[in-house]
Structure 1
Amino acid sequence: MTNIAILTGRIARDPETRKTQGEITVTSITVVTDRPARNKDGKTYKDDNGYTVKDSEFHRVTCFNGLGKNVAQYCTKGQLVAVEGRVHYTQWEDQEGVKRYGCEILADKVDFLTKGKSSDNQDAPEID
């Protein structure tokens, strides 16, 4: 059995980092992917300017420990990244006792496809 998720997209907002009680670094990003929109006939279509209309999807991605630290340090909104990881589902009850469900990608690897934070980061990892 396999649970693999691969995303290539742009970071929707700057990374958010926190530490758990056990001092584990957890960094969250939202990656936006696009795909061609389809009309009721299942065909793609263009807007008034001649561009193919796109549907955007927003994916919650969670990075732990060293990966989380690197993403927090070097990534920023708008940066193109490739994420490899696995799909993870959660279930909890809110304050009113209503069951809630969530889905996220737990990242094993994040490749920086474009530069992120300002170019004064001379020690940033090289981009292939």
Structure 2
Amino acid sequence: MQNLVILAGNVGNAPETLTTQGGTKITKFNLATSRPKRDSNGKTFKDENGRRAEDTEWHRITCFNGIAKTVAEYVETGQKVMVTGHIHYTRWTDNQNIERYGAEIIAEDVKFLSYGKSRQNRTGGTQDNEDDDVPF
């Protein structure tokens, strides 16, 4: 069996990078994914304005070494990315001595599906163009 996760969504915060004493770069960011809400009959739920309602989930993404460096340099809040990796479950005791559990996605690949806003402004457009040269 394989532990494989593929997520495509919007970056929710500017990536945060740290370097361990051993020299390992670690970059973390949050990724938002959405899916349509469904009613009890399985039909897409609409809000009072007739717009499709969505459920949004937030995922903690952790990148190491080369991927961490690239993400830290090029990823911005709001940018669309696709992350391929695996789920890692963690357990810790907080400062009130309560045992906590969590999950994070360890990224093995991050593909950029859009430019960040600062690069869009420099290139003069906001549309995605699959012919653009993306340096990653």
Please report the TM-score for the alignment, with normalisation by the length of structure 1.
0.89
The one-letter amino acid of 1:126's match is: V
- Return the letter of the residue paired with 1:52: R
Structure 2 counterpart of 1:17, which letter?
A: T
CA contact (8 A) 1:112 1:127 kept: no
Root-mean-square deviation (Å):
2.0
User: What is the distance in 2 between the residues matched to 1:100 and 1:113?
Assistant: 34
Matched, 1:71 2:71: yes
1:107-122 alignment runs, 5 A limit: 107-116=107-116, 118-119=118-119
Structure 1 Cα separation of the partners of residues 67 and 103 of structure 2: 20
For residues 88 and 20 of structure 2, the distance between their equivalents in structure 1, rounded to whole angstroms, comes to 19
SS in 2 for 1:118: helix
Q: Do the aligned partners of 1:115 and 1:127 also contact (CA within 8 Å) in 2? A: no
Q: Which runs of 5+ in 1 are unaligned?
A: none
Alpha-carbon distance between aligned partners in 2 of 1:54 and 1:127, rounded to the nearest angstrom: 33
The structural deviation recorded for 1:96 is 2.1
SS at match of 2:78: coil
Q: TM-score, normalised by structure 2?
A: 0.84
Report the number of matched residues.
125
Tell me how far 1:127 sits from its aligned partner: 6.9
- Residue in structure 2 matched with residue 100 of structure 1 by the alignment: 100
| Rounded Cα–Cα distance in structure 1 between residues aligned with 2:47 and 2:135 | 35
Of stretches 39-48 and 70-79 in structure 1, the one that deviates more from structure 2 is 39-48
Query: Normalized per residue, which structure has more helix?
Result: 2
SS at match of 2:73: helix
- Deviation of residue 118 (structure 1)? 2.4
Q: Which amino acid aligns with 2:36?
A: P
Shift of 1:42: 4.3
Match of residue 126 from structure 2: none
- Of stretches 96-105 and 78-87 in structure 1, the one that deviates more from structure 2 is 96-105
Measured at CA, do residues 117 and 73 of structure 1 come closer, stay the same or move farther in structure 2, by a change above 3 Å? farther
CA distance in structure 1 between the partners assigned to 2:30 and 2:75 by the alignment: 11
- Residues 1:19 and 2:19 aligned together: yes
8 Å CA contact retained: 1:15, 1:29:
yes
* 1:40-80 CA distance string (max 9 Å, x none): 45432111222110000000000001100100100000000
Amino acid at match of 2:46: K
Where does the alignment leave 5 or more consecutive residues of structure 2 unmatched?
A: 124-132
Contact 1:4 1:87 in 2 (8 A): yes
Match of 1:8 in 2: 8
